[in-house]
Amino acid sequence: MNAAFDFTGKKVFVFGGTSGINLGIAEAFAERGAVMGVASRDPEKVRATVARLAECGRVAGQTAAPQGYSLDVRDPQAVADAISTFAASRGSIDVLVSGAAGNFPAAAQALSPNGFKSVVDIDLLGTFHVMRGAHPYLTSPGASVINISAPQAAIAMAMQVHVCAAKAGVDMVTRTLALEWGPQGVRVNGVVPGPIDGTEGMKRLAPDEKSREAVVRGVPMRRMGTPRDVANVCLFLASEAAAYVTGAIIPADGGWSVAGARLDS
Ligand code: NAP
Ligand code: COA
C-alpha cells in the first residue's frame, strides 16, 4: 500500500455512510486501517454497516470496533452527541466526511415549501451541523473535512431546484470554512460525484435504461462511476499527499461536468 494512503489508526467519521457512495467511502478508509464512525437514520442500515466495516477492519488488522449512530443530521444536538460520544472513546477525529443527502425529481411549481426545505435542511444545514459539531475534535495535525457535493451545485438542472440550491450552499460552506479553519491547520475540501452506478441518487434521477444511456452518452469517459471512483478522491484529499490542498472542490465524474466535452451527439 502507498504509505500516503495508509490510514491505520486514523479516526474517520462518515455521516450518511450507510449506503451508496458514502458507504463506499467508509469501506475504503476501513480497508486502510481507519477507526470508523458512521451515522444515518435507519438503525438497520447502521447495524449492517458497522458489521461490514468491522470485517474490512479485521482484514486490515484494525481491532477497534466501528461505532454506528442512528440519527437525523437535521437534529444538531443528536449530531453533536454522536460526535462527542465517538471522540470520548477515540480522542479526536482525523477525517470527517459529510455526505447525508436527500433527492427526488420535482418541478419547482410542484414542490411544496416543505419539500424544498427538507432537502436544504438535510444537505446544507446538515453539513453545517456536522462540521460545527466536529470542530472541537478536529485537533490532530493534518485533520480534514470532506463535504460530498453534486454537479447540481454548479450546473443548473431542471427538476432539481431544491438540490441545486442546497448543494451550491454546501460548496460555499466548504470554501468559507477552508478560509476560517485553515489557520487552525484544518483542511476543508469537497468532492463532486458524477453519475454513480447503482446508487439511490441515480435510481431516482435516471430510473430507466433509456435515461441511463442518455447519461452515459454525456460522460466523456463513457461510463458511469463507481463508489470507489469517488472514495479514491476522498483518500487523496484526506492524505498527506493533499497537505497543501484546501478549499478545493474536485469532481470525480468522468468529465461529466465539462461543458461541451461530448464527442458526438
Ligand atoms: P444514498 O445511498 O441514499 O446515501 C445517502 C445516505 O445518507 C444514506 O446513508 C442515508 O441513510 C443517509 N441519510 C439521508 N438522509 C439523512 C438524514 N436526514 N440524516 C442522516 N442520514 C441521512 O445516496 P447516494 O446516491 O449514494 O448519494 C450519496 C451522496 O453523494 C449524497 O451526498 C449525494 O448528494 C451525492 N451524489 C450522488 C450522486 C449519485 O450519482 N448517486 C451524484 C452526485 C452526488 P438513512 O436512510 O439511514 O438515513
Ligand atoms: N416530489 C415532490 N415532493 C416530495 C417528493 C417528491 N418525489 N418526495 C417528498 N416530497 C416532499 C413531501 O411531500 C414533503 O412535503 P409536504 O410536507 O409539503 O407534503 C417533504 O418533501 C418531506 O417529505 P418526507 O417524506 O416527510 O421527508 P423525509 O424527511 O421523511 O425524507 C426525503 C426526506 C424526502 C429527501 C427522502 O426522499 C429521503 O429520505 N431521501 C434520502 C435518500 C436519498 O434521497 N438518496 C439520494 C441522495 S442523492
> How many CA atoms lie less than 13 Å away from 135 in the CB half-sphere?
12
- CA distances 160 to 22, 90, 214, Å, are 21, 39, 18
- Cβ 104 under 6 angstroms from ligand 2: yes
Give pLDDT, residue 111: 98
Contact 23, 17 (CB under 8 A): yes
- Cβ 169 under 6 angstroms from ligand 2: no
* Mutation choice for ligand 1 from 13, 44, 46, 196, CB with most ligand atoms inside 8 A: 196
Spatial separation of the C-alpha atoms in residues 64 and 54, rounded to whole Å: 8
- Cβ 14 under 6 angstroms from ligand 2: no
Contact 22, 10 (CB under 8 A): no
* Mutation choice for ligand 2 from 23, 118, 122, CB with most ligand atoms inside 8 A: 118
Kindly state the helix (H) or strand (E) to which residue 250 belongs, with its residue range: strand 249-252
Neighbour-count burial for 205-219, b at 16+ CB within 10 Å, e otherwise:
bbeeeeebeebbeeb
Distance from Cα 118 to the centre of ligand 2, integer Å: 7
Distance from Cα 103 to the centre of ligand 2, integer Å: 7
The string of DSSP codes covering 203-257 is: HHHS-SHHHHHHHHHTSTTSS-B-HHHHHHHHHHHHSGGGTT--S-EEEESTTTT
Give pLDDT, residue 263: 42
Give pLDDT, residue 264: 45
Alpha-carbon torsion angle 185, 237, 119, 225, nearest 10: 180
Distance from Cα 264 to the centre of ligand 1, integer Å: 32
Spatial separation of the C-alpha atoms in residues 118 and 99, rounded to whole Å: 15
Give the position, in ligand 1's atom list, of the atom nearest the Cα of 74: 18
Distance from Cα 113 to the centre of ligand 1, integer Å: 21
> Mean pLDDT in runs of 10 for the chain (265 residues)?
86 98 98 98 98 98 98 98 97 98 98 98 99 98 98 95 98 98 98 97 96 94 97 98 98 87 44
Give the position, in ligand 1's atom list, of the atom nearest the Cα of 40: 21
- Cβ 100 under 6 angstroms from ligand 1: yes
- Cβ 112 under 6 angstroms from ligand 2: yes
Distance from Cα 87 to the centre of ligand 1, integer Å: 24
Closest residue to atom 38 of ligand 2, CA basis? 102
4 is written with which cell numbers? 500516503
- CA distances 58 to 19, 27, 35, 184, 193, Å, are 20, 12, 11, 34, 28
Give pLDDT, residue 4: 72
Question: Which ligand has the minimum distance to the alpha carbon of residue 41?
Answer: 1
Distance from Cα 106 to the centre of ligand 2, integer Å: 10
Domains of the chain: 3-252 (3.40.50.720)
